């Protein structure tokens, strides 16, 4: 099984400039490769392959000698990134690949192989750079796969390592109605569960978000190009980083707990992009970082032999009574609670949706039958 580990690096001043050189050169090669792809297509109507791009890198080095100071495998890693950007574009219709900007908050470069970790001396050895001190807080074994070195917006350096431990993932455990948990994305809460539990966003996160808003205002009030604006920007970057760490920790806690306590987790496939366009939901959805939470659930499920079930996003999970199947076409986003006129159940909107998500996913698995009375109404939706 592949596992990912992330460690903080503590480079010397010299190493910082070498790391930055790698970052800059890789960005340069990425943009060059993207440009080659576009131009080749415009001129010939054909696509240039990664293999051909890699063959051109030595030519590129002739006119840009400084590229020679950088690990060639890192440079070649960028043609792979361009290629996967195109694959995603064609497969997910996810926006045409963009050029990388110096201004992106997180800058990184790949180290495909030939690096080492020394747990005893707490160092990571990178090609062309050498041994860098690192905070190796977690020991692991396994075959080292690709690593990525990144620089955060506040100038901290990290290495993320993928390692294959050679073990088969555990066999999937069976699940049924009592051991499956449905989760709905909350609007007010972070998530609402089919067991009626609601998971709130933690208070510290809310406080940080408040502070973020305040700092954003402060930046916009300072004069462009002024020292004060730069200072305010740095503060803003710091709070951004803090929020993303806090959110990450929170999501790790929740996802581990949910995976531990249930055999299967049922989710709705969300069109997060579509939802973010809707101003009303924008704040809550993007704050919740739903997709990174789902990613954590999915890989943890894999590690522990649990299952993540998904239902399509067009299934009417909010409007259907989870008890009798009555379809409430009048339900609006504002209605937090509703009464089913058929079976007289009082519903919490989100809990009802979470229960339906669980039911739909189990119907998909043929684990429960449809026993709702208004099946006809449901099937013509």
Residue 343 binds Zn ion (CB under 5 A): yes
Residue 340 binds Zn ion (CB under 5 A): yes
Name the DSSP letter for residue 331: -
Contacts by residues 19-24 (CB-CB < 8 Å, ≥ 24 positions apart) = 19/129, 19/149, 19/151, 19/157, 20/151, 21/66, 21/69, 21/70, 22/70, 22/71, 22/74, 22/109, 22/128, 22/129, 22/149, 23/107, 23/108, 23/109, 23/149, 23/151, 24/102
To the nearest whole angstrom, how small is the minimum distance from the Cβ of residue 276 to Zn ion? 32
# of chain residues touching Zn ion (CB under 5 A): 7
Catalytic residue among 177, 268, 287, 298: 268
Query: Given the complex with Zn ion, which of 109 and 372 has the nearer CB atom?
Result: 372
How far is the CA of 63 from the CAs of 177, 254, 332, in angstroms? 64, 51, 62
Alpha carbons 160 and 330: distance in angstroms, whole number: 49
Residue 189: active-site member = no
Residue 268: active-site member = yes
Question: Using the rule CB under 5 A, which residue among 7, 250, 290, 326 binds Zn ion?
Answer: 326
Residue 323 binds Zn ion (CB under 5 A): yes
To the nearest whole angstrom, how small is the minimum distance from the Cβ of residue 179 to Zn ion? 25
To the nearest whole angstrom, how small is the minimum distance from the Cβ of residue 343 to Zn ion? 3
Q: What part of residues 8-67 is at the interface with Zn ion (CB under 5 A)?
A: none
Region binding Zn ion by CB under 5 A among candidate stretches 50-58, 227-235, 252-260, 317-325? 317-325
Residue 258 binds Zn ion (CB under 5 A): no
Q: Which residues contact residue 67 at a Cβ distance below 8 angstroms, ignoring those fewer than 6 apart? A: 25, 28, 29, 57, 60, 61, 75
Residue 308 binds Zn ion (CB under 5 A): no
Residue 342 binds Zn ion (CB under 5 A): yes
Alpha carbons 2 and 241: distance in angstroms, whole number: 26
Residue 176: active-site member = no
Residue 331 binds Zn ion (CB under 5 A): no
Q: Which residues are catalytic?
A: 184, 268, 350
Report the interface residues with Zn ion, using CB under 5 A: 321, 323-324, 326, 340, 342-343
């Amino acid at each position: 099984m592949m596992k990912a580990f992330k460690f903080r690096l503590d480079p010397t001043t010299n190493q910082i400039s070498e790391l930055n050189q790698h970052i800059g050169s890789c960005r340069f090669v990425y943009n060059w490769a993207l440009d080659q792809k576009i131009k080749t297509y415009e001129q010939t109507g054909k696509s240039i392959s990664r293999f051909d791009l890699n063959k051109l890198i030595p030519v590129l080095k002739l006119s840009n000698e400084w590229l020679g100071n950088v690990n060639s495998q890192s440079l070649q890693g960028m043609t792979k990134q361009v290629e996967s950007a195109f694959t995603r574009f064609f497969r997910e219709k996810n926006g045409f690949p963009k050029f990388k900007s110096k201004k992106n908050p997180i800058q990184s470069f790949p180290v495909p192989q030939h690096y080492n970790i020394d747990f005893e001396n707490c160092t990571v050895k990178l090609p062309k750079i050498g041994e860098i001190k690192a905070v190796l807080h977690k020991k692991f074994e396994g075959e080292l796969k690709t690593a990525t070195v990144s620089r955060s917006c506040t100038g901290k350096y990290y290495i993320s390592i993928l390692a294959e431990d050679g073990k088969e993932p555990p066999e999937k455990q069976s699940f049924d109605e009592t051991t499956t948990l449905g989760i709905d994305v909350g609007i007010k809460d972070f998530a609402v569960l089919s067991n009626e539990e609601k998971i709130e966003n933690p208070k510290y996160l809310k406080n940080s978000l408040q502070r973020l808003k305040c700092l954003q205002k402060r930046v916009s009030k300072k004069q462009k190009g002024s020292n004060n604006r730069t200072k305010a920007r740095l503060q803003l970057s710091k709070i951004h980083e803090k929020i993303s760490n806090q959110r990450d920790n929170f999501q790790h806690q929740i996802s581990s707990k949910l995976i531990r306590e249930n055999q299967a987790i049922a989710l709705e496939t969300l069109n997060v992009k579509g939802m973010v366009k809707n101003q009303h939901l924008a704040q809550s959805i993007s704050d919740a970082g739903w997709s990174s939470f789902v990613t954590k659930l999915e890989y943890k499920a894999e590690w522990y032999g649990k299952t993540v079930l998904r239902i399509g996003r067009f299934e009417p999970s909010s409007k259907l009574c989870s008890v009798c199947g009555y379809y409430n076409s009048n339900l609006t986003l504002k209605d937090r609670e509703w009464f089913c006129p058929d079976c007289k159940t009082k519903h919490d909107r989100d809990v009802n949706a979470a229960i339906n998500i669980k039911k739909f996913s189990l119907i998909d698995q043929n684990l429960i039958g449809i026993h709702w009375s208004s099946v006809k109404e449901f099937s013509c939706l």
